Amino acid sequence: MKKLMHQGLLALLTVAVALVGLSINAIASEDGPTVKAIKEKGKIVMATDADYPPFVWVAMEDGDSKVVGFDADLSQLIADELGVELEVKDMNFDGLTEIVKSDKVDFIVGALTATEERQKQLDFSDPYYENTVEFAVPVDKLADYKELADFEDKKIGTQLGTVHEQLLKEAFPDANVQAMQKNSMAVDGLLAGRTDAVVMDDIVLKEYVEQHSDKIAIVPGVVLEQEDNGAAIGVAKDQEDLLKVINKVIKDNKENGKLDELMKENVKKADRN
């Protein structure tokens, strides 16, 4: 009898161990191929154009140049969620789509709008920030601009490859749109009188205007309408497992107020630079 009881207990123990093993394997198998590869590398690679304060820009910290800003902080939250290091690649905005499609980076960020055209090439996260597109003009010309129609035949600067460039060309077929590699170059063109206006996201434009408040100003009450006005993170097609993690980070940190806190911090930080 004792022998039979011992054999029975041993059998139950064997089953219990097997079930624990299955449970562990099930948890491990929750990671899809993209997330699994990132964890095996021990790092996640993000690409951006670091010329868009307070979203992203280059600042000196402890004697070294570093990519900082709201988008950089959000990217770090994603890396922390996965338990890996964050590597950042700074490049021109118009090359971001191709580099993430080539699998040289894991995701791209930079106040990207998930336009219909971009969605044909990439998949996008849920929006993490809502934005408005505004105009800035020389202070002494501010009274000349009351409505969108006042920009129809003007030279307007914006960043190359952005949704703003496309929107301007659609809204003002007769306008001379000057697309620059960097937002700072577009602002320089306005300051030098080479263009009549510049167009950017509201919170970004505000930073440049505050730096040159004696020379340029935002046109009040005039915005460039867009169908999609949410900034999102882009990944290569068919990487639903990575997108799921990114959306979780966005959702959790919207709900707990962290994203609002980070934006406020980076607006202040950008003002000091």
Q: Which residue has the higher pLDDT, 268 or 262?
A: 262
Task: State how far the Cα of 270 lies from the Cα of 273, in Å rounded to an integer.
Answer: 5
Task: State how far the Cα of 168 lies from the Cα of 165, in Å rounded to an integer.
Answer: 5
For residue 5, what are the contacts with CB-CB under 8 A and spacing of at least 6?
none
Q: Mean pLDDT over residues 13-23, rounded?
A: 45
Q: Which fold has domain 33-130+229-272?
A: D-Maltodextrin-Binding Protein; domain 2 (3.40.190)
Q: What is 133-223's CATH number? A: 3.40.190.10
Domain range list for the chain: 33-130+229-272, 133-223
What is the pLDDT of the chain when averaged over all its residues?
Answer: 87
Q: How confident is the model at residue 273 (pLDDT cuts 50, 70, 90)?
A: low
CB 128 within 8 A of CB 260: no
Six token digits for residue 167: 């929107």
CB 187 within 8 A of CB 198: yes
For residue 172, what are the contacts with CB-CB under 8 A and spacing of at least 6?
151, 152, 153, 154, 156
- pLDDT tens, residue by residue, 85-121: 999 999 998 899 999 999 899 999 988 888 888 999 9
Q: How confident is the model at residue 28 (pLDDT cuts 50, 70, 90)?
A: very low
- pLDDT tens, residue by residue, 205-218: 988 998 899 999 99
33-130+229-272 and 133-223: identical CATH topology: yes
